[in-house]
Homo-oligomer: A and B are copies of this chain.
C-alpha cells in the first residue's frame, strides 16, 4: 500500500494538496482541540481554507453536544461556521431513527445512555426518549428493588424499541443495568414477546464507538469503552454505530451539500473512524493529523484499519501553503 505523503513544511506539496479539493470534512476532538484547549493556529487555518473558497464541514463523533452547541463552541473559539456545516453523531443517530427505522408505536421510544446532545437531536426529530440526563438515572448503587424491577420489567418502560448508547459522563451501573434489561426484552410481556420482532428485544444502536476521547492533552474513556463495549459484552452482539466510519453519516453530508466526493478530503486523527470513513466513502483524499489519538506507527502496522493519503503534524501546518 502507498505510504502517506507528509506535507508539513513542504509548500509545493501543500499547494498541490489544497488545489485538489473543494470541501474539507474536519473531525473536531484531536484535530481542532483537546477538550477546551484549541490547538495553536487552528482558527487561522480554517479561515485560510475558507478564504481560498473551500467549504469546511465539521463531522464529529462526539455525541455530548448538539449541532447548535457545537456551533456555539466553534464560533466562541474563533472558528467561523454555520450550524448547517456541523454533523454530529447524535444528529446522525436521530436522523437514522426518525427517517430510516421509522419505529412503529407502541415500541417507538429510545432509551438513551448519553448527554444532552443526544436528547436535543432526538427532540428535533420528534423522537421520544427515556434515560439520558433524567436525574432519576443519575444514581449510584443498586437497591434490591432496582434489581427486581429491572428483572421483572416492572420499572422499565414497555414502549422502548431502541437503546442508543453514546458518550455519557454520568454512566453508572444503574443505567447500564437498565439498558441491558431493554436489550434483553425484559420490558416486553410474555404474550407480546411471542409475536414481537426479535422477541421484544430493543435494537442496539450507538452514536459512535471511539474507544477514547482526547481531552486536556490526554485521553479519557470514549463512548465505545464506557458504554458501548460494556453492553456489547453483556449481550454478545455489536451495535449499529451511526458515527464515523458509518457511511450513514457521509450520506447525510452528501445529501445536504451535493458533494463531489472526488474533490472532498476527510481530515482526522483516528484511523478506525476518520480515515476509514474517508477511504470507505471513496473520498478524493484523507489527511491525518498527529495531534490526537493515532500516530505514524499506527498506520505502518500490517493490521492498520486504514491508511491516510496525506499527513501533517497538526492542522495548522496547512498554513504553510502559498497564499493565493
A residues contacting B by CB (< 8 A) are 35-36, 138, 140-142, 144, 147-148, 150-152, 168-173, 176-177, 180-181, 184, 186, 211-212, 215-222, 224-226, 229-231, 233-234, 236
Contacts and interface: CB of A to CB of B under 8 A. Distances in A.
B220 A233 contact: no
Contact of A233 (B138, B171, B217, B224): B224
A235 to B, nearest CB: 9
A83 to B, nearest CB: 25
Contacts of A226: 173, 176, 230
Contacts of A140: 138, 140, 170, 172
Contacts of A151: 215-218, 220
Given A172-B171, A230-B229, A147 B221 contact: no
A222 to B, nearest CB: 7
Given A138-B140, A211-B233, 14 more contacts: A35-B147, A141-B169, A150-B218, A151-B217, A151-B220, A152-B218, A169-B173, A170-B172, A180-B219, A181-B218, A212-B234, A222-B234, A226-B230, A229-B229
Nearest to A215: B147
Given A36-B144, A233-B211, A221 B180 contact: yes
A297 to B, nearest CB: 13
A226 B191 CA distance: 31
Nearest to A137: B140
Contacts of A224: 233
B173 A216 contact: no
Contact of A150 (B168, B220, B222): B220
Contacts of A141: 138, 169-170
Contact of A148 (B148, B173, B212, B216): B216
- Which of A36, A147, A226, A233 has the largest number of chain B CB atoms within 10 A? A233
Nearest to A35: B147
A230 to B, nearest CB: 5
B225 A230 contact: yes
